[in-house]
Structure 1
Amino acid sequence: MLRLSRIMSLVGDHFIADTMKLQCEVEVINRMLPTFGMRNRGKGNRAVLSIGKHHDRSIKNNSPTIHLLICTLKDKAGCKYKADVNNLKNFLSTLRLAHRGSEIDTIPLSNLAPVKTAEVEKPKAKMVITSRKDYPLTTNFPYSLEFLQVSYCKLARVDMRMLYLRKLRKLDLSNNHIHKLPATIGDLSCLSELVLHNNHLETFSITLCSSTLQKSLQFLDLSHNRLHALPIQFCQLRELIHLKLDDNELLRLPYRIGQLTKLRFFSAARNKLPYLPCDFQKLCLENVDLFGNLFEQPSPLAPLIQLQIPMTLLEIAARATINYRIAYGPHILPAHLCQDLDLTKTCLCRRPCLNSFIQVVVNLNLHQVSHTVVLVDNMGGTEAPILCYFCSLTCYSEFLDRYHQRNR
């Protein structure tokens, strides 16, 4: 990769403030040459150094960035180099004072000295720590990190220093002893992958579900923990593509799991799930693995009937609110009513019901929701029990008619 190494010398008074151009001698060093057994020329070229905005037209709606442009007699079109904005500001401020003829003693200049290795090295983007003895205790993690793995270090909690890594895209804290996740993980706005495999987690914070992770998190591995359930709000993480929940103690899946419309890979093998939520049939997956759960036998002819005849005013209002997509929230309705509306069930006829419904457990062939299905049991089955709801006797009767026709 090419880097602007140094400006050999300024020539006269040729700094032009309006166009941000500097006539000078420039040496450009290719740091990859030594790996091929080659040397740089070690000689500067007469050039014009310009500073300006650059639009990358290959990226739609891309905002301009500041670049350095080096033009020589042989290359009048020039080569562009992306500039660090903060360093450039300091450089230009000092250069401007010198251009105005300020006394040297009044210009905030330090004595020339060799640079430190860290100043010329490429910012570190990846760090992998797999031993407790290698864990940094007296130094901070590099702020430039985009990938951080800390495994087998017996961490009991997430190190708060990790939460200042604003460029972090993948955080792997697998194989530790973490019991709880801090809400401030949700401040990592670039985080797209979070791996928490083989820890001691018992809950997943509701706060994380409403954080910036809603827009960034695509891969989440919570396998081999101690989770019994996930909050209803978990389904607000709608950018999720890959979700791993294997080897926990889950008794149920998030009620609104069908809202994870981008989910393509889902596994919850070896849990204690008795059945799947009704919303599960809304998913469109590439791969699903539900092997080794305690699935109950379906009983479509043994319904749980909780019909209210006539319906209560609350039931009518709740159904109308969902049917007509009326906005609601704690600023409009009492909190307990909002929670009820969040738990509204959906009949097979797609109409909502709240407290007046008929509930049955039926079999769902998982091929209806996924292209590839890992066998549910050792018998080669690909069906799993799923909760179904009916908003009226009419809907349930129509279901029974179809059920009897299939089983004749």
Structure 2
Amino acid sequence: MKLQCEVEVVNRMLPTYGLKNRGKGTRAVLSIGRHFDKTTQRNNIYLMICTAKDKAGSKYKLKENIEKFFTWFVDEGKATVRLKEPAVDVCLSKADANSLKNFLSAARLAHRGSDNDTLPLSTLTPVRARDVEKPKKRLVIMSKKDYPLTSNFPYSLEQLQVSYCKLSRVDMRMLSLKCLRRLDLSNNHIKKLPATIGDLGCLAELVLHNNHLEAFSEALCLSSLQRTLQHLDLSQNRLRALPAQFCQLRELVNLKLDDNRLVRLPFRIGCLSKLRFLSAAHNQLPFLPSDFRKLSLENLDLFDNPFTQANPLDHTMQLTFPLTLQEMASRAVLNLRIPYGPRVLPAHLCRELDLAKTCFCSRACLSSYIQTAVSMNLHLVSHTVVLVDDMGGTEAPVQRHFCSLTCYSEYLDSCLQRGLR
């Protein structure tokens, strides 16, 4: 039985002599195994602690020699084993929680004198230097020849960059790195993202710059990334659209979408209330979604998009007379703020309600509406705006929706009163 973690052996007698412990853990390998005791001429079960300075290891007898286990924080990878002789506390930290629980169970069995055949014992041999090295937090691989083929990535990695390795897919070994906070797979040939990226529960930064991505899956938008992802770089790919569920990634602060083939931005982009930096230059955007006006950005770059000329009189009529029963009921649910969900309504109705449009009068409309585009100065949503064209413009067309002819007429009247033609 072996365990890798940080260990501090605290001598409980030191305060008696006016001395203090160092108070800092050291990377170590702990083993529970059988050792021949020359004093008693018998095999006994020992705990051996090996560190970089003491690769041969220090041994402590376990049978009837543990005074107490302190396991209040075992789920955080911390525990203490108090020994009777010598009078020391073995303080463990930064261990894998499940491995630590198994190790403590084995130590408890050894203390009780359980049959050796029931214990997962290890050989008590000196460790190699690499076994007691400090856990690696950051790894950068910038060429295919450096890419590991036969060995795993260090489990302790918090930052991993793999670039210029011609990867055509995400290596599943990366998705077992539960401490990963930053994953940079830029400058590869990745075409599709596995939904299991969403299982990386600490991932705050995902960089996929310059790949061959054609889609960003709905599953990723509904994964644990909703709670962790703050920086997302999808620039220089082949994306034509992002799913409506993309706006569930509400922790996003920085979003890069430059140099794709986007013909629209997510309809509910205004839900990204924490978004501060947005760049979607060099795409195929004809207009911005109506929700765009809800953003509050520090920096915005929409340069080189084929924005259409906004004219409130040019409109698309999708109104039906009379309104369908489904349209009326859906509007009522949203306007009256009636709670809904998959347990109450069919999933496809929930999706339609989630994509409802907001009229000029602040009421909802779904499949029956009038659509037009109006010009908006981008400084209304961002402190700093990169010019949208070579002519020095900072305005772009934004969609507007109207639930009825009455609302559309009132809007045109207000435009005329402001001198808009």
Q: What range describes the TM-score normalised by the shorter chain of this pair?
A: 0.7 to 0.9
Alignment partner of 1:315: what SS? helix
| Superposed displacement of residue 315, structure 1 | 2.1
Task: Report the number of matched residues.
Answer: 369
Cross-structure match for 1:52:
70
Q: 1:27 to 1:4 in 2, by over 3 A?
A: farther
What whole-Å deviation, never above 9, does each CA across 1:224-269 have from its counterpart, x for those lacking one? 0001111112112122111110000101111111121221111100
Please, what is the CA RMSD of the aligned residues?
3.7
What whole-Å deviation, never above 9, does each CA across 1:281-331 have from its counterpart, x for those lacking one? 111112111011000001112222333343332221121011122344455
Letter of the structure 1 residue corresponding to residue 407 of structure 2:
C
Q: 1:90 to 1:371 in 2, by over 3 A?
A: same
Question: Which of these residues, 171, 179, 184, is aligned with residue 159 of structure 1?
Answer: 171
Question: Which of these residues, 286, 293, 303, is aligned with residue 281 of structure 1?
Answer: 293
Question: Which of these residues, 172, 175, 188, is aligned with residue 187 of structure 2?
Answer: 175
Determine the C-alpha separation between the residues in 2 that align with 1:64 and 1:139: 27
Cross-structure match for 1:235:
247
Is the 8 Å Cα contact of residues 379 and 394 (structure 2) preserved in structure 1? yes
RCO comparison, higher one (Cα < 8 Å, 6+) = 2
Cross-structure match for 2:93:
82
Is the 8 Å Cα contact of residues 210 and 235 (structure 2) preserved in structure 1? yes
Is the 8 Å Cα contact of residues 54 and 64 (structure 1) preserved in structure 2? no
| Superposed displacement of residue 96, structure 1 | 4.6
- The aligned runs of 1:2-401 (5 Å cut-off) are 4=7, 52=70, 66-68=78-80, 82=93, 84=95, 85=97, 89=101, 92-93=104-105, 96=108, 99-100=111-112, 110-401=122-413
Q: 1:50 to 1:26 in 2, by over 3 A?
A: farther
Is the 8 Å Cα contact of residues 9 and 91 (structure 2) preserved in structure 1? no
Determine the C-alpha separation between the residues in 2 that align with 1:64 and 1:91: 15
Alignment partner of 2:161: what SS? strand
* Structure 1: gaps of 5 or more residues: 12-24, 33-38, 56-62, 71-77
| Superposed displacement of residue 69, structure 1 | 9.7
Determine the C-alpha separation between the residues in 1 that align with 2:159 and 2:229: 14
Determine the C-alpha separation between the residues in 2 that align with 1:302 and 1:388: 11
Cross-structure match for 1:75:
none
Q: 1:321 to 1:132 in 2, by over 3 A?
A: same
Determine the C-alpha separation between the residues in 1 that align with 2:148 and 2:341: 45
Determine the C-alpha separation between the residues in 1 that align with 2:350 and 2:114: 67
* Structure 2: gaps of 5 or more residues: 1-5, 14-19, 28-52, 59-66, 83-88
Alignment partner of 1:399: what SS? helix
Alignment partner of 1:362: what SS? strand
- Range with bigger deviation, 106-115 or 202-211: 106-115
Determine the C-alpha separation between the residues in 1 that align with 2:112 and 2:284: 75
| Superposed displacement of residue 117, structure 1 | 1.9
Determine the C-alpha separation between the residues in 1 that align with 2:102 and 2:259: 54
| Superposed displacement of residue 357, structure 1 | 2.0
- Normalized against structure 1, the TM-score is what? 0.79
Alignment partner of 1:239: what SS? coil
Letter of the structure 2 residue corresponding to residue 236 of structure 1:
Q
Determine the C-alpha separation between the residues in 2 that align with 1:248 and 1:202: 9
Is the 8 Å Cα contact of residues 4 and 27 (structure 1) preserved in structure 2? no
| Superposed displacement of residue 65, structure 1 | 6.7
Is the 8 Å Cα contact of residues 263 and 284 (structure 1) preserved in structure 2? yes
Is the 8 Å Cα contact of residues 288 and 372 (structure 1) preserved in structure 2? yes
- Range with bigger deviation, 333-342 or 396-405: 333-342
Is the 8 Å Cα contact of residues 8 and 91 (structure 2) preserved in structure 1? no
Letter of the structure 1 residue corresponding to residue 135 of structure 2:
P
Is the 8 Å Cα contact of residues 362 and 388 (structure 1) preserved in structure 2? yes
| Superposed displacement of residue 132, structure 1 | 0.4
What whole-Å deviation, never above 9, does each CA across 1:104-150 have from its counterpart, x for those lacking one? 89976544322122332111111110100000001111111111110
Determine the C-alpha separation between the residues in 2 that align with 1:217 and 1:260: 12
Q: 1:95 to 1:244 in 2, by over 3 A?
A: closer
Letter of the structure 2 residue corresponding to residue 210 of structure 1:
L
- Range with bigger deviation, 110-119 or 255-264: 110-119
Cross-structure match for 1:406:
418
Q: 1:95 to 1:310 in 2, by over 3 A?
A: closer
